[in-house]
Homo-oligomer: A and B are copies of this chain.
Amino acid sequence: MSETHDVAVLGASGYTGAELVRLIATHPGLRIAALTADRKAGQSMGEVFPHLRHLDLPALTSIDAFDPGGIDLAFCALPHATSQEVIARLPRSLKVVDLSADFRLRDPAVYEHWYGHPHLALDLQADAVYGLTEFYRDEIRAARLVAGTGCNSATGLYALLPLLKAGAIDPDDIIIDLATGVSGAGRSPKEGMLHSEVSEGYHAYNVAKHRHLAEFDQEFEKVAGRKVEVTFVPHLLPQNRGILATIYVRGEGPEIHAALQAAYADEPFIVVLPYGEAPATRHVRGSNFVHLGVIADRRPGRVMVFSALDNLTKGSSGQAIQNANLMLGLPETMGLMAAPLFP
């Protein structure tokens, strides 16, 4: 067994913070040495998240009281904009996995366009690697700062990157229709996320202007070698976890399926379903797995590609631990092989 690394979770009072703690609790190579949460400083994690009550964890402190000494890696689960400030003040020797949007976009102008303010830690951008593990494994292994992907972005990218790479689809006619559970909206109280508002209902939001479009644009252009603009419509589901992207593309079903199978043949977390089957969010819940499916339309040349993952695990905190494993020299799958929770 590898040695155990001490890690910190900065911003532990949100859902991604809690998910990190949940996963690390039984991770044989990581030990939680510090937890911060400014508004909950002084409380125990068990008070803030009673499902973690059985664990022996350090108390929550303010971020200012955080002592990075002895810490091997910090997970930063803070809101964007806050994240760049906090990371800028951390010692450069400390490895960081950031779960916010702050270091995902290579171009500062693009960041400013989508997030509405200039980036304040541009020097750190140079260090940052985009955290889509299966596509940036070597860079992540060597990185000091890894930027976790958007959860919706990851869902779409797993389906489309291999297809654009293989030239299996028309890059000019891609529509990503996506549905996501509510936990992605976080734990801060908002009217629109109340049970009374969300349950027994379904609607589109941020239509054609969701910030995760910026990641699609960046990553698709990179792999296609040209600008690729997609249509992207996210919807809110009356459920807590899970994202399903239904992606409408032009190409041939069998070829598309073969391209995904080839790309992911050796990937431990990516399951390509038999041709003609569609995945479901409930079958990846609470896990680090991605399920991909391909079904041809009745109209020749049109194909649907489906991609399902859990936004809090593979779309966020599970991905973060997968990246941390690489950065710390641990086996990539360590602590992440738990099967999905169904029903």
Q: Are B339 and A202 in contact (CB under 8 A)?
A: no
A202 touches B51 (CB 8 A): no
CB distance from A248 to the nearest CB of B (A): 5
| Chain A, 177-203, CB within 8 A of any chain B CB | 177, 179, 181-183, 187-191, 193-203
Q: Are the C-beta atoms of B197 and A196 separated by less than 8 Å?
A: no
Instruction: Give the chain B neighbours of A284 by CB distance below 8 A.
Output: 51
Counting CB contacts under 8 A, is A283 at the interface? yes
CB atoms of A177 and B246 under 8 A apart: yes
On whether the beta carbons of A238 and B239 are closer than 8 Å, the reply is yes
* B195 pairs with A194, CB closer than 8 A: yes
Known: A177-B246, A195-B194, A244-B202. A342 touches B285 (CB 8 A): no
Q: How many copies does the complex hold?
A: 4
A209: CB under 8 A from chain B? yes
Nearest B residue to A287 via CB reads B51
Contact B187 A194 (CB under 8 A): yes
Q: Which A residues from 251 to 306 make CB contacts under 8 A with B?
A: 268-269, 271, 273, 278-287, 289, 291, 295-299, 302, 304, 306
Q: Are B200 and A241 in contact (CB under 8 A)?
A: yes
Q: Contact residues of A with B, CB < 8 Å?
A: 15, 18, 21-22, 25-26, 49-55, 175, 177, 179, 181-183, 187-191, 193-205, 207-209, 213, 229, 231, 233, 235, 237-242, 244, 246, 248, 268-269, 271, 273, 278-287, 289, 291, 295-299, 302, 304, 306, 308, 337-343
19 A-B residue pairs with Cβ-Cβ distance under 8 Å, sorted by A, are A22-B339, A51-B282, A54-B339, A182-B194, A183-B196, A188-B191, A199-B200, A199-B239, A200-B241, A200-B343, A202-B237, A202-B242, A202-B282, A204-B244, A204-B306, A209-B298, A231-B297, A231-B299, A285-B341
